[in-house]
Amino acid sequence: KAGVTQTPRYLIKTRGQQVTLSCSPISGHRSVSWYQQTPGQGLQFLFEYFSETQRNKGNFPGRFSGRQFSNSRSEMNVSTLELGDSALYLCASSHLTGELFFGEGSRLTVL
Amino acid sequence: QQQVKQSPQSLIVQKGGISIINCAYENTAFDYFPWYQQFPGKGPALLIAIRPDVSEKKEGRFTISFNKSAKQFSLHIMDSQPGDSATYFCAARGGGSTLGRLYFGRGTQLTVWP
């Protein structure tokens, strides 16, 4: 069974630009969560989607948004990028048991 | 406000020794406590998890000890190996509609010397 797939794996943007990250969950998993990982703040929850609906949202500004499609694939978008948005963005999918399985992440560098 | 506090920040253990990482939480609504292992350049991988109705869970060389009254739980790695060198994260989660939201500790960087 294929794991969680995130694209792109690496990207470099400049301040003020926007970025879209993609996540394909494990087949059959309907819940997708996003996390931001930085050396300073650790792993922080961004939001969770289930059946195309946002079920939970963390404490991030409105520049961070996401969506989920009918095939459970998810995207997150960050607008008006700031230097502090440089991070590893992790996507996790889960099934009924609630165990979260993470992808390898998208490493964003903002210059 | 850190919902889950983890210690130590770093740990160095001799090969064959026991590695112990501790975590504490405040929210009594948490009902699921996983541990994740992360290697450089990789995403966190689920290692072992426990629910508060049991005090201990063992899988191979990895054991979780859980103390509900103290709101603490710990990971023990027996017979530590150089391949165990990684960053370990404890986490906690409430139930119901918050299934996808994990609160993570800050991580412990484990180094196992051969």
Give the number of other Cβ atoms within 10 Å of residue B39's Cβ. Answer: 12
User: Tokens 């490493």 correspond to what residue?
Assistant: A107
Query: Rounded CA gap, B113 and A49, in Å?
Result: 42
- What are φ and ψ of residue A84, in 5° steps? -70, -5
Contacts of B100 in chain A (CB under 8 A): 31-33, 48, 50, 55-56, 92, 94, 100
Question: How far is the first Cα of chain B from the last one, in angstroms, to the nearest whole number?
Answer: 38
pLDDT score recorded for residue B2: 77
Residue of A nearest to B50 (CA): A99
Q: How far is B93 from chain A (nearest CA, A)?
A: 10
Share of chain B above pLDDT 70, in %: 95
Buried b (16+ CB within 10 A) or exposed e, A13-33: beeeeebbbebbbbeebebbb
Phi, psi of A16 (to 5 degrees): 95, -20
Check the CA dihedral B77-B109-B24-B32 and report its sign: negative
> What local confidence, expressed as pLDDT, does residue A16 receive?
98
Report the pLDDT value the prediction gives residue A36, as an integer from 0 to 100: 98
How many CA atoms are closer than 13 Å to the CA of B82, on its beta-carbon side? 2
Residue B99 has pLDDT above 80, yes or no: no
Compare all CA atoms of chain A with the CA of B104 and give the residue at the minimum distance.
Answer: A43
pLDDT range class, residue A1, cuts 50, 70, 90: low
pLDDT band at B96 (very low <50, low <70, confident <90, very high): low
The pLDDT assigned to A2 comes to 80
